[in-house]
Structure formats: structure tokens, C-alpha cells
Structure 1
Amino acid sequence: MNMDQLTKILRQSIGNSIQILSCDLVGGGCINQCYHLVTDDRAYFVKCNERSYLDMFEKEHEALVALAAHANLLIPKPINSGKVENDSYLVMEFIESSSQSTYYWERLGEGLAGMHRQTKNLFGWETDNYIGRLPQSNKWHQSWTKYFVQERLRPQIKLARDSRILPPDVQIDLEKLCGRMDQYIVPGLPAFLHGDLWSGNLMTGPLGEPCLVDPSVYYGHREIELAFTRLFGGFDERFYQTYNQCYPLEAGFQQRFDIYNIYPLLVHLNLFGRSYLSDIRQILRKYL
């Protein structure tokens, strides 16, 4: 994206008088082009993609607003989402990163526990959204097991099957697991979740505080959120200890983490290919 397009984006979002003083292309995952723009007003973070990604940016905008309303943690403020020419965009405040404070992990554990205590009478969310660039269904359910199977696992299984990257034996075992899910997971209250919490969506704010980015929010069982933090690592044990002190987990929760992580592994299978099949097979062997 050139400077003229970025200027149009900011003027649509902020005002016609704004001037860009510097522009840096920065890392923002594997989906979007991301820019750090310094203006005569302040610094902004801008995500850009093709026009067809507008709905994804609008859902992220909404999710950031919801996350800020539910979490006593630093969340970047979204400013505008829209389209310019053949591209779509999301503009938000730029968070200046620094080194972690002494109690960074304790603050994250306390903040996430407080967020998870915010509940509702159903599992789901008011709109569908996205996990990465993949659509994520959020129909309301009374049962967490039904929600997890019908709105999380089965859509990803179907996508992998239709893309011909899911071997028949793995599909059969996944369907067996779905049919037996009540044996493996426990009931719980619907908790407000970030929805895509791994170390890549956690950063450090200007005062050394934890900052959450790239949410995919919904009301779900809090164990699925904590399970995902374990999948790729990067979270200090002080985080888990503080979380459990603030909001104790049900006995045996660590034995359920693998079954929840089938969902992000299926997402990664659909996004990045067959290299994630071995991890899925390993979990299936554990439970079947």
C-alpha cells in the first residue's frame, strides 16, 4: 500500500488535516499488511488487506471494543474500519512496547481471571466472527459440549475434509471424539473469552503491563482459553499460579487441555497445512 492510500485511510478515519510524518511496515501476523504511522497528531497502527476482508476488520473492531469493556487490562483502542479503493483497513491506536514489569505475569493472571468471571446464561456471541482469517460460528447454545462440537470442531473438520487435507481415518476418529465429548469435558459457566489467546496475541505496553491484541471474543468455557495458552508455550508459571489463586479451576483441568487444543490445531491445519496432523493424531490416540 502506498503513502497516498495510507493518507486517505487516516483522513477518512481521523480528519482531512492529518499529516503522516513517518511510515514503517511492521509485523502483524501472516494475514495482513500492517503499518506504524506517526502523524502530526499521534501514532497509529493500521492493518490493511483486500476489500473482501472488510467484514473481518469490522468484527475485530467490535471485538476490541467488547474486550476493553470486559477486561481490566490494556487493549488497543480501535478508531475506524472501512475501505479505500480496492482495499479494506482497520485503524487503531499504536501501543508503544517496552520490557515487562516485575509483576507482568501476575497482572495478566489477575486480569484474565477477572475477565473470565464475567458471565452470561448462554455460550456463544451476538455475531459470528473470525479465527485468523477463517470464519467462526457463534450461535447461542445452552450446552457447552454442544457448542464446542457444533460451533468449533465440526466446521473445522468439514473445512479440512472439503480441502482434502484430512485423512479419512483422522476424520472418523474426530467424529468418534465428538460423539463422546460429554465423557471428557465438564460443565462450566459461560465466561467472556479473548478467544485467540496465545503468546503472539500478547504484548507488553509502555509501562511494562500486559496488553491483549487480535481478539476473537465469545462466551465459552474458560478452560479452552487456558488450554490454548499451553499449546505453543510462552506463558510464565506465575501467570497460571495467580490465575488459579484468583479463580480456582476445577480438578483435573490439565487432563482436559489436550482435547480443547484440537480446535486450534484444526484451525492451523486449515490455515497452514498437514504439518499439524501429527499433533491431532497424538491427541486422538490419547482419548480413543
Structure 2
Amino acid sequence: MFSLNENFLQHIDLPTDSKITRYHRVGGGDINQAYSLETETGEHYFLKVQPNSVAAFFQHEADGLKLLAQAVRVPRVLGMGQVKKDQWLLLESLNAVNDGDQYALGRALAKVHAITSPNQEFGFDRDFTAGKTAKINHWQKDWYNFFVEQRLAVLRGLLLQEGKWVVSDRDYEQAVNKFKLLLTDHVSQPSLLHGDFWSGNFMFDADSGEPIFIDPDVYYGDAEFDLGITTVFGGFNRDFYAGYQSLRPVDAGIDQRLMFYQLYYLMVHAHLFAGSYIQAYAGKLAQIIGH
């Protein structure tokens, strides 16, 4: 069990020559450990640690923050490295709050989605396989193929291995065939995605109110993917969607397409946490083929 100590902190490269004098653990999600650091001169930093992981575990997150910074506020990456097999990522400490202007938040996400892939294909320039759910990001010209082959099928394989696949192959095939049919009325473009845009992955600057995006899992995909994730666990109100559509109006039939991204996210949670999420994804698939 990892526990932050003075020896570990000696290996953290700070932007200044100050010494870390205080630190305490803070909420950092289900995968990483997170700490607030304070130096002898009163500087504050945010440290994320992934114990017993592969080298450059945080590179994907750092790359994602850099890409998102083209359009929105993100925490600045100040450094990353490893101590033995434990990986660390140092970020600026933000004076942020959880609640704020959701209209501005929606517009911020729309600005991210206005950025498209350099080759106009779906995917990313590298896979991310160090996490608990592998993300296969090989470039695809077609969104249907990318999403079904490199997202849904990968998760289905994991759920099969874990004994958590509780729906019939026939129902699954019927669902993905329906997805293909629904996409005929929608033009998919390879937008930059946050990739995990639930309510725990944004904040607001406590002084300016500016939205801040954190913990990305970026790739280039259909912008409706991010919107689908926002509808799974709540935390987004009407102002958010109005703000988004003020810059990027959505296509007709979006509600039916969003169900497939909800299905994906529930499958992710069934893989990670099991429990009620298994029946939740099964229920979502039944809802899809019942429409």
C-alpha cells in the first residue's frame, strides 16, 4: 500500500528550489492517489501518484491537458516522473469550486469539440493500455468502426473474461446494427474529446468563475460521445446544454444515439466495479433494441 513520505518527495522536481514542508492526501478519484503540497515559501501544488505502474503512466493525461488547453482552462503540468515503480504527475494547485456557470461550461465543451484531428480520422496517435480499461486508439476513417471495434468490442471482451457479460450475442449484434443505421442520419466528425466528461472532471475558478477541465482521456471522436457521458450520472443542467448548443447545435435524433454512449459508460463501470452496473448496462441494451 503506497503512502507518501519524505523520501518520495525528495524526487519531486518543483519549479522552484523551495522545499516541501507540508502535504496531505485529498480526493483524487478511483485510480490515482492525490495530494496537496505546500512549500516552505508558501507555494502550493497538486500531486497525483499511480503506485506500482508502468513508466510514463501520466503521459496520456499530460498530452490531453495540453490539447484541451487550446480551447479551455486546465491545470498546468509542472512535471512528471517515477520513484522506483511509482509514477507521479505534478500540477498547479487551483483555487476552484465545484459549482458555477453551466452555460459557460457548455460553451467551453463546444469550443473543445471545434478542434478536429489533424488527419481528419477518428482515434489518437497512441493507445493507452496502462489503465484498468485499455483504450485502443488506432486511426479509423469511420466513426462506427472505431466506436464498435475499439470501444464496445474491447469492453465486451473484458466483461466476457470476467463473467460479467449477461446479455445475448444476438441482442448485442442487434444493438450495434441499429447504431450503424442511426448514424446514417448524422455526420460524424473527428472532434477532440475530453473522453471522460462526467461531473467530477470539471471545476470553476473560485475568483473568475471560468470553467476548468481536469482528468482527460482524450482522443478524436464524434462530439456526441462526450455529451452522452454527461447524461449518465447527472451533474449537468439545462443551462449546460443550452450553452453547448449556442455554439454547436445538435443533430436530430441525438437522444437515440446518446444511448450507445451511455451503454459504453455503464459497461466501463460494470468492468471496474461490477455490482448494479452489470444490470444497468444490460437494461440499457434492452432499452436500445426495444426502441
Does TM-score exceed 0.5, indicating one fold? yes
- State yes or no: 1:194 paired with 2:194: yes
> How do residues 1-288 of structure 1 correspond to structure 2 at under 5 angstroms?
1-10=3-12, 12-14=13-15, 17-39=17-39, 40=41, 42-69=43-70, 71=71, 73-98=72-97, 100-101=99-100, 104-120=101-117, 121-129=120-128, 133-167=132-166, 169-185=167-183, 186-207=186-207, 208-288=209-289
Amino acid at match of 1:9: H
Contact kept in structure 2, 1:80 and 1:92, CA below 8 Å: yes
Number of residue equivalences: 281
- TM-score scaled by structure 2? 0.89
Ranges in structure 2 where 5+ consecutive residues have no aligned partner: none
Partners of 1:28 and 1:111 lie apart in 2 by: 23
Contact kept in structure 1, 2:259 and 2:288, CA below 8 Å: no
SS, match of residue 56 in structure 1:
coil
Ranges in structure 1 where 5+ consecutive residues have no aligned partner: none
SS, match of residue 110 in structure 1:
helix
Partners of 2:205 and 2:8 lie apart in 1 by: 25
Contact kept in structure 2, 1:64 and 1:75, CA below 8 Å: yes
**Structure 1 range deviating more: 192-201 or 118-127:** 118-127
Identical positions, percent? 32
Could you say what the CA RMSD is over the residues aligned between the two structures, in angstroms?
2.0
Partners of 1:221 and 1:238 lie apart in 2 by: 22
Amino acid at match of 1:124: G
Higher helix share: 1
Decide whether aligned partners of structure 1 residues 233 and 170 sit closer, same or farther in structure 2, where only a CA change above 3 A counts. farther
Quote the offset at 1:180 in angstroms: 3.9
Render the CA deviation track for 1:96-141: whole Å, top value 9, x for unaligned. Answer: 223645xx21211111112111123111111112696322111111
Amino acid at match of 1:214: D
- TM-score scaled by structure 1? 0.90
Partners of 2:131 and 2:95 lie apart in 1 by: 23
SS, match of residue 22 in structure 1:
strand
